[in-house]
Amino acid sequence: MAEEKKGRAYHSISEVSAMAGVEPHVLRYWETQFKMLRPKKNRAGNRMYRPKDIALIMTIRKMLYEQGYTISGARKKLLEDRRTSSSSSASGGEKEGATQLLRQVKKELEEVLSMVRPKK
């Protein structure tokens, strides 16, 4: 049954609370403290957790219960980690260099194409 639940796209709050080993009210409280934790809600208003939400919950749980972070400390660390990962993966300098390289390749291809095309 555990393998069956892992493959699903959404999980209920009771399933996620059982996975994380915390009560549902703790998950609802964490939603108020960690802005990046925003599970989708269905038409009835029930929380439906995606795999990325569950991974974040497990990270928060580990930080609070095992590593000894306070809620504000865990929040700051998660935000800092998010900033460093997003800035390193898509920094402005890398984008600028890639854009310049693409322009150069385009120019060279146009030159080759002009050599190959029959002259009118």
Give domain 2-89's CATH number out of 3.40.50.1010, 3.30.1360.70, 1.25.40.10, 1.10.1660.10: 1.10.1660.10
Residue closest to 36 by CA, chosen among 84, 91, 74, 8:
74
Residue that wins the pLDDT comparison between 120 and 68: 68
Is the pTM of the predicted complex or chain greater than 0.85?
Answer: no
| 3 pLDDT more than 50 | no
Domains of the chain by residue range = 2-89, 91-120
Q: pLDDT per residue over 36-86, tens digit each?
A: 999 999 999 999 999 999 999 999 999 999 999 999 999 999 999 888 877
| 118 pLDDT more than 90 | no
Q: pLDDT per residue over 82-110, tens digit each?
A: 888 776 665 556 667 778 888 888 888 88
Q: Residue 49: enclosing H or E segment and its boundaries?
A: strand 47-49
Q: How many secondary structure helices (H) and strands (E) does the chain include?
A: 6, 3
pLDDT the model gives residue 1:
43
